[in-house]
Chain A
Amino acid sequence: MAAGGGIDPIHQFEIKPILGLRPFGLDLSFTNASLFMVVAVAVISAIMIYGSRQRATVPGRLQSLAEMLYEFVASTITGVMGRDGMRFFPFVFSLFMFVLTANMLGLIPGSFTVTSQIIVTAAFAFLVITVVLVYGIMKHGSHFFGLFVPEGVPGWLLPFMVLIEAVSFMSRPISLSLRLFGNMLAGHIALKVFGGFVVALTGAGIYATLAPLPLFLAVALTALEFLVAFLQAYVFTILTCVYLNDALHPGH
């Protein structure tokens, strides 16, 4: 905010290239966003790979964390998709861990929130839908499109139902990406706005006595944002499981 001059809650979402890369006229610069993607992968690898290096029967702290995350995602998958959903385990686990870690890293003051970029959440959402479509069609062929034909509907209503189902299916990637993007964006803006109030009030003479008020709110909001960071990663994961379940068992 110092660099932006004054208090600008949007400034934190600005992307700045660290290392310029322009092959074939495409701007593929390594930016602060790319840096935090790499940091997220490093943090996840530290927990999952470094943490489990001893393969101890009685786990240490880091291995316990790795096992807890493993079992949490595994139970989410089996809860939604059943046993055969475990074939998507590496995919869903990577997705959950990436989103969760990116959300959590974003809460460190001065860091960059990868998941507050619409292009990132949209890429994830379209990746999920692509996996659903490709796997569904590969596994079930044309039978997969039975997903759009609900059972027990009178014949004259069927075209409308198919249309509604198709639209609802196509809106899934949009809602999936916007939900995560919106939550992260709004949370960080709100945090910055309350932080800005504190700064503005401390420089406003007698009103400086009111400065602790927004500070207290900012602290409370930070706690809430930790909850949101986890909850949105979980929601993203569980919806991914629900959509993948359609690819696994299209017969409802």
Chain B
Amino acid sequence: MQVRASRAQRIGVVSAAASVMAVSADTAFAKGAFPPFDPTFFASQIFWLAISFGVLYWLMSRIALPRVGEVLAERSTTIARDLDQATEIHAKVEAVAKDHEQALAESRRNAQAIAQDARTASARETDAKRHATEAELGAKLAAAEKTIADRKTAAMKHVETIAAGAAAEIVGKLTGQSPTDAETAAAVKSVLSA
């Protein structure tokens, strides 16, 4: 496309040149050949063009282009290496952050377990203490109850003996006959247990 455009442009420009040249033809051709078509210096032109272009080609291909190419290649490798390094470091940082988070979660879990253990242990201890106290109190209660019962039996025995004595005396006074001890004891027992 560019080539086509430039061709059209060339035709236009050349025709413009032709018209301008026609205007100046009187002055130019009157003096001699149109300078660009004058072959006087063709050999010199080609000679010096060959020398200067040859030198340019040599300088470019031997010195300038390898050097610039080297710089460009070096820069692209440097950039690639730096980018690689950056991604590597980034990956490392992410791994470290992950590890850190993992460690944090683990220690949190540990702390929770320790707290749970402490809570259960203290609960168990309290329970044990309470049970011991309760047992002690129960034992004391039982002993007290037994004492009361013993005292009651003993008291009842005294009551029987006093009642038998009193009954024998009452019977003796009323009938003049004194009952035997066994008879009064049986009679008192039957009355008391009734």
Contacts and interface: CB of A to CB of B under 8 A. Distances in A.
| B contact face: mostly helix, strand, loop, or mixed | helix
A238 B4 CA distance: 12
B91 interface: no
A34 B13 contact: no
Nearest to B16: A186
A148 to B, nearest CB: 20
Interface string B55-76: 1110111011101111110110
Contacts of A67: 68, 71-72
Nearest to B14: A182
B6 A49 contact: no
Interface in B84-126: none
| A contact face: mostly helix, strand, loop, or mixed | helix
Contact of B20 (A26, A193, A234): A193
Interface string B30-61: 00001111101111111111101101110111
A189 B22 CA distance: 11
A8 B28 contact: yes
A66 B68 contact: yes
A227 to B, nearest CB: 11
Contacts of B45: 15, 31, 33-34, 117, 119-120, 123
A146 B150 CA distance: 140
Nearest to B28: A10
Contacts of A182: 10, 13-14, 17
B72 A186 contact: no
Given A66-B68, A90-B60, A186 B46 contact: no
A52 interface: yes
A97 B16 contact: no
A38 B52 contact: yes
A190 B20 contact: yes
A186 B22 CA distance: 12
A56 to B, nearest CB: 7
B24 interface: yes
B56 A44 contact: yes
A10 B17 contact: no
A28 B44 contact: yes
Contacts of B55: 41
Contacts of A97: 56, 60
Interface string A3-36: 0001011100111010001000011111101100
B16 A179 contact: no
B27 interface: yes
A13 B35 CA distance: 6
A93 interface: yes
A185 B14 CA distance: 9
Given A94-B53, A181-B36, A231-B6, A70 B48 contact: no
Contacts of B17: 182, 185-186, 189-190
A90 to B, nearest CB: 3
22 contacts: A9-B24, A10-B27, A10-B34, A13-B34, A31-B48, A33-B44, A37-B48, A37-B49, A40-B52, A48-B64, A49-B67, A67-B68, A93-B60, A94-B53, A94-B56, A94-B61, A117-B45, A119-B36, A123-B46, A178-B14, A183-B9, A190-B20
| 10 tightest A-B CB contacts, nearest first | A186-B17, A90-B61, A48-B64, A34-B48, A37-B52, A10-B28, A13-B35, A182-B14, A235-B6, A15-B41
